[in-house]
Amino acid sequence: MSTQLWVATTNAGKLTEFKNLMSDRCEIHAAGEMSFYSSPPETGKTFEDNARIKARALKSLKPGIWVVADDSGLEVEGLGGLPGIHSARYAGDKASDRENVAKLLKMLQIRSPGNRKAQFRCVFVAYDPDGGEHKIEGLVTGQIASSAQGTSGFGYDPIFIPEGHDKTFAQLGLAVKNQFSHRAKAIRELMALMRL
């Protein structure tokens, strides 16, 4: 297995999803394995901007190898698309998943209790060994549960009910989530691009 993919993330949950879907096809490495790596500031206005910032930073350290960065988040219709690119920091820079979830449920109750439509959006920016840039997007639609339910996954998984299901991602578990989640869709497209 000679193909390597370096993922520009320090998020253990994201890395697990990459490994679950790809580790039998290629070697997966995380940027955090490099002692001198520090995640660049995400100053972009879109998921694509932020993914590109992270991917370029890693590509400069790992030339000639596949690198990918993922920026993703939850977009809630009743909150005008928020938290969006601020998903990981919705309740503050050092907020925990639980704090972010609590703030989102509270804001939705205040602003739009009748509209619980939401989608997870994921954008990858990948660089191939020759330096070519590729953009991949994955989406999954659903709705926000009235309260957090389930223990699997991370982030907003305990309150997101994907379309066609009556349980949250956190209740469905990783094996089910990895069949059709936003990131699973993008990872499969990346695998096709890498010819794995």
**Calpha distance 58→80 (Å, rounded):** 32
**Calpha distance 102→31 (Å, rounded):** 30
Q: Is 166 a catalytic residue?
A: no
Helix (H) or strand (E) holding 108: helix 97-111
| CB atoms inside a 10 Å sphere around CB 158 | 21
3-state secondary structure of 155: coil
Cβ within 8 Å of residue 164, ≥6 positions away: none
Buried b (16+ CB within 10 A) or exposed e, 114-151: eebebbbbbbbbbbbeeeeebebbbebbbbbbeebebe
Exactly one of 24, 71, 97, 130 is catalytic; name it.
71
- Residues known to be catalytic: 71
